[in-house]
């Protein structure tokens, strides 16, 4: 007779599927996961503490280093917070270029998130295809900013480099290639029987649970949370006619599909930006002043909030960063994984929420 | 069971709770419950894991917005707030306290019944 035993299964901190170290302790009854507990602290940087007392010129570089995958949005939100404190206006051309770079970063982030998921469920072919396509996106990020990861592209009152017409043409040609490849990959993902078996109905999070844990980004949008994309409130995105992508399934499949759909949306936004790129300067200038404010932007994983207090020289006196992974990882551990019918689904469910431990442990 | 590889997480949990934003949240919850900040920190460290402590501020904000809508008694006691949003009291205990407080409102003024209910919640949190 088959017996089921109650055991505590620790996953991590070093696990082949984890991108970063984190420990997940699962209390199980047979194959069923009853309770999970998360242990962090394996890569605490203390970056908020390092930022305090430093001039904004140093903090803008530190802000990017909170997360290596979505570094552009950390740069953008920090700079836009400083602009709000100091009442600095951004020239329209610079605002559009910011969107281009931010969307390229979002594409790179979503592609690596979906790569990780496919790798976790052992669909290595699709995983490698996605990673290969991500290279094209990073090449285009380098084309504009000169760097693939920590770009430091945005500065108060503008951006560092203009987009040359020949670079814009090359980027549009690359985007056509990316779009074609992505259509094929999405078809593989949507119709693959193995993927469906490991993803559909697995790691379910209801609309109410998503709201309760304040989940954000694609994780919230996959559970049908409306008005959960801060790009809806950003003036440049509004000018570009941005609309939010939402799904209602709330499972691993939906979370990945939202990210796939957002890659196509990012391609459209970049095209729209390049087609309607206003003429004019890319830097308007401005002086960072004393003040205190809280400002949020939409990172690839969701709402990213910077609360900053500065003095009259533009030094950062106090700073608090609330990253999207704080909410999403917590919801994943206490909602999506809890009640999983198989311990084998824990890793894939965890990865489906696109966890960023570096963000979580600023 | 105590495993050899288990770490003492109290110091790291304390560091999370004393950061700028978390400290504000802890103070707000302590004020709501009528307990001292230090005692509440001790309870939070003992009962919640690190990811929930990191997400404490967001859960508190969402709880204030969405918990116990339309029921003044549940709202005053923090029925959903302290069971579903910030799990400090188990659901059965909270149900008992809620039912007893509802009965008490028949016999005494509403505010007195609420004060007694809150006292029992405080005891449940600190137990």
Taking the CB of residue B6, how many other CB atoms lie within 10 A of it? 11
Of B20, B49, B66, the CB nearest to A211: B66
Residue A267 CB-density burial (10 A; 0-12 exposed, 13-18 middle, 19+ buried): buried
Q: What is the pLDDT of residue A139?
A: 93
Domain that holds residue A159: 6-45+86-281+325-360
Report whether A217 contacts A324 (CB < 8 A).
yes
CATH of the domain at A331: 1.10.645.10
- Domain borders along chain B are 9-126
Q: What is the pLDDT of residue A54?
A: 92
Residues of A in Cβ contact (< 8 Å) with B85: 212
A110 within domain boundaries: yes
Q: pTM for the whole thing?
A: 0.88
Q: What is the pLDDT of residue B1?
A: 52
For tokens 């930022």, the residue is A51
Residues of A in Cβ contact (< 8 Å) with B52: 38, 330, 334
Residues of B in Cβ contact (< 8 Å) with A10: 5
Taking the CB of residue B10, how many other CB atoms lie within 10 A of it? 11
Q: What is the pLDDT of residue A196?
A: 86
For helices A92-120 and A165-191, what crossing angle results, to 10°?
30
Contact A330 B57 (CB under 8 A): no
Name the CA radius of gyration of chain A, rounded: 21
A261 within domain boundaries: yes
pLDDT one-digit tens code per residue, B99-125:
888 888 888 888 888 888 888 888 888
Q: What is the pLDDT of residue B2?
A: 58
Q: What is the pLDDT of residue A201?
A: 87
Could you give the CA distance from residue A166 to residue A350 in angstroms, rounded to a whole number? Answer: 42
Question: A23: which residues sit within 8 A by CB, 6+ positions away?
Answer: A10, A11, A12, A13, A38, A39, A40, A42
Question: Which residue of chain B comes nearest to A12, CA vs CA?
Answer: B5
Residues of B in Cβ contact (< 8 Å) with A44: 12
Of A37, A211, A320, the CB nearest to B62: A211
Identify any residues that bridge with A302 across adjacent strands, giving them in sequence order.
Answer: A299
Backbone angles phi, psi at A335, to 5 degrees: -125, -55
Report whether A31 contacts A22 (CB < 8 A).
no
What's the helix, strand, coil split of chain B in %, to 5? 75, 0, 25
Q: Which residues of chain A have pLDDT under 70?
A: 1-5
Percent of chain B with pLDDT over 70: 95
Residues of B in Cβ contact (< 8 Å) with A330: 51-52, 54-55
A313 within domain boundaries: no
Residue A152 CB-density burial (10 A; 0-12 exposed, 13-18 middle, 19+ buried): middle
Of A212, A307, A326, the CB nearest to B54: A326
Chain B closest CA to A265's CA: distance in Å? 28
Of B12, B21, B59, the CB nearest to A213: B59
Reported as type and span, the H/E element at residue B11 is helix B10-17
Chain A closest CA to B58's CA: distance in Å? 6
Percent of chain A with pLDDT over 90: 54
A335 within domain boundaries: yes
Stretch B82-106: mean pLDDT, rounded? Answer: 88
Contact A320 B20 (CB under 8 A): yes
Contact A37 B49 (CB under 8 A): yes
Strands A23-29 and A6-11: antiparallel
Of A212, A307, A329, the CB nearest to B85: A212
Count of domains for chain A: 1
Q: What is the DSSP letter of A231?
A: G
Tokens describing residue A286: 């401005």
Highest-confidence range of A113-122, B11-20, B58-67, B106-115, by mean pLDDT?
A113-122
Chain A closest CA to B112's CA: distance in Å? 30
Q: What is the pLDDT of residue A10?
A: 85
Percent of chain B with pLDDT over 90: 18
Backbone angles phi, psi at A89, to 5 degrees: -90, 150
Q: What is the pLDDT of residue B4?
A: 59
Q: What is the pLDDT of residue B3?
A: 60
CATH number of B9-126: 1.10.3070
């Amino acid at each position: 007779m088959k017996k089921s035993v109650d055991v505590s299964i620790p996953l991590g901190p070093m696990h082949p599927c984890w991108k970063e170290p984190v420990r997940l302790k699962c209390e199980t009854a047979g194959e069923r996961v009853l309770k999970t507990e998360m242990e962090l602290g394996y890569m605490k940087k203390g970056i908020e503490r390092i930022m305090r007392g430093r001039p904004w010129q140093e903090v803008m570089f530190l802000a990017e280093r909170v997360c290596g995958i979505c570094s552009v949005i950390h740069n953008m939100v920090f700079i836009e917070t400083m602009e709000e404190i100091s009442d600095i206006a951004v020239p329209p051309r610079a605002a559009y270029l910011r969107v281009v770079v931010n969307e390229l970063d979002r594409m790179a982030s979503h592609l690596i998130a979906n790569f990780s998921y496919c790798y976790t469920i052992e669909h290595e072919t699709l995983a490698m295809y996605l990673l290969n396509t991500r290279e094209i996106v990073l090449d285009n990020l380098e084309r504009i900013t000169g760097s693939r990861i920590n770009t430091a592209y945005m500065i108060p009152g503008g951006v560092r480099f203009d987009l040359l017409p020949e670079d814009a043409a090359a980027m549009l040609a690359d985007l056509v290639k990316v779009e074609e490849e992505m259509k094929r990959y999405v078809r593989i993902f949507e119709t693959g029987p193995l993927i469906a078996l490991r993803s559909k109905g697995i790691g379910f999070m209801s609309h109410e649970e998503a709201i309760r844990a304040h989940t954000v980004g694609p994780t919230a949008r996959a559970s049908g949370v409306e008005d959960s994309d801060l790009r809806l409130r950003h003036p440049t995105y509004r000018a570009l006619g941005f609309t939010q992508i939402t799904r209602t399934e709330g499972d691993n499949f939906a979370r990945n599909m939202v990210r796939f759909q957002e890659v196509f949306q990012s391609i459209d936004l970049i095209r729209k930006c390049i087609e309607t790129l206003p003429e004019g300067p890319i830097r308007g200038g401005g002086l960072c002043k004393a003040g205190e404010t809280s400002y949020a932007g939409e990172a690839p994983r969701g709402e990213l909030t910077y609360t900053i207090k500065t003095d009259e020289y533009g030094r950062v006196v106090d700073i608090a960063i609330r990253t999207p992974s704080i909410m999403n990882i917590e919801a994943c551990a206490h909602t999506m994984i809890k009640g999983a019918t198989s311990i084998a689904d824990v890793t894939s469910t965890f990865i489906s929420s696109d966890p960023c431990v570096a963000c979580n442990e600023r | 069971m105590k495993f050899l590889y288990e770490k003492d997480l109290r110091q790291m949990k304390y560091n999370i709770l004393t950061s700028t934003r978390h400290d504000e949240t802890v103070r707000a919850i302590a004020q709501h419950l009528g307990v001292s900040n230090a005692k509440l920190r001790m309870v939070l460290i003992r009962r919640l894991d690190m990811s929930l402590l990191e997400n404490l501020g967001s859960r508190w904000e969402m709880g204030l917005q969405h918990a116990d809508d339309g029921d003044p008694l549940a709202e005053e006691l923090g029925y959903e707030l302290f069971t579903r949003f910030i799990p400090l009291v188990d659901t059965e205990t909270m149900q008992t306290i809620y039912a007893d407080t509802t009965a008490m409102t028949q016999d005494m003024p509403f505010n007195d019944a609420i004060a007694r209910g809150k006292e029992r919640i405080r005891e449940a949190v600190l137990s």
